[in-house]
Amino acid sequence: MSAAFHTTTLEVHTGRRECVRNLTGDCEGFLSSIGAREGLLNVFVPHATAGIAVIETGAGSDEDLLDALGDLLPRTDRWRHQHGSIGHGRDHVLPGLVAPHATLPVVSGRLALGTWQSVLLVDTNRDNPDRTVRLSFLG
């Protein structure tokens, strides 16, 4: 049995505010469009200031994530990496805490997520309002 590889990119407008964007529907749509059955989906954001998280959304969890990141990585001028808006250096530390990728199992053509889990783009960079996300399926 040979493995099939499919890939595409999403262009996501995140705006000039910190945000958490739900990509679960986009991931499911991609899997459906290629007729995926069993395999792995890799979600990757090729930016130095964004990450991919798999957590619950709704009920405030996405805002809680941004608040926690704000506590851990305050938007101040303390960062050595300084260009762009005040505190932009913390955006470059973000991928050390929220990895720029996630690899997820695909079973029967669907993401094998837990009941409340979603695939999220986490973007704290106010200076870059547009992101590219690469979806790659191997199955």
Is residue 44's pLDDT more than 60? Answer: yes
pLDDT, position 46: 97
Residue 83: per-residue pLDDT: 83
Beta-carbon count within 10 A of 63 CB: 12
- Separation CA 81–CA 37 (nearest Å): 44
pTM above 0.75, yes or no: yes
Rounded-to-integer distance, Cα 35 and Cα 53, Å: 25
Nearest CA to 30 among 5, 54, 58, 61? 5
pLDDT at position 81: 82
The residue that leads in pLDDT, 82 or 102, is 102
CATH (domain of 62): 2.60.120.460
In the predicted model, is pLDDT for residue 3 greater than 90? no
Res. 86: pLDDT tops 90: no
Domain that holds residue 79: 5-138
Domain count of the fold of the chain: 1
Phi, psi of 70, deg, nearest 5? -65, -35
Residue 85: per-residue pLDDT:
85
Query: How far is the C-alpha of 126 from the C-alpha of 88, rounded, in Å?
Result: 8
Please say if the pLDDT value at position 2 is more than 80. no
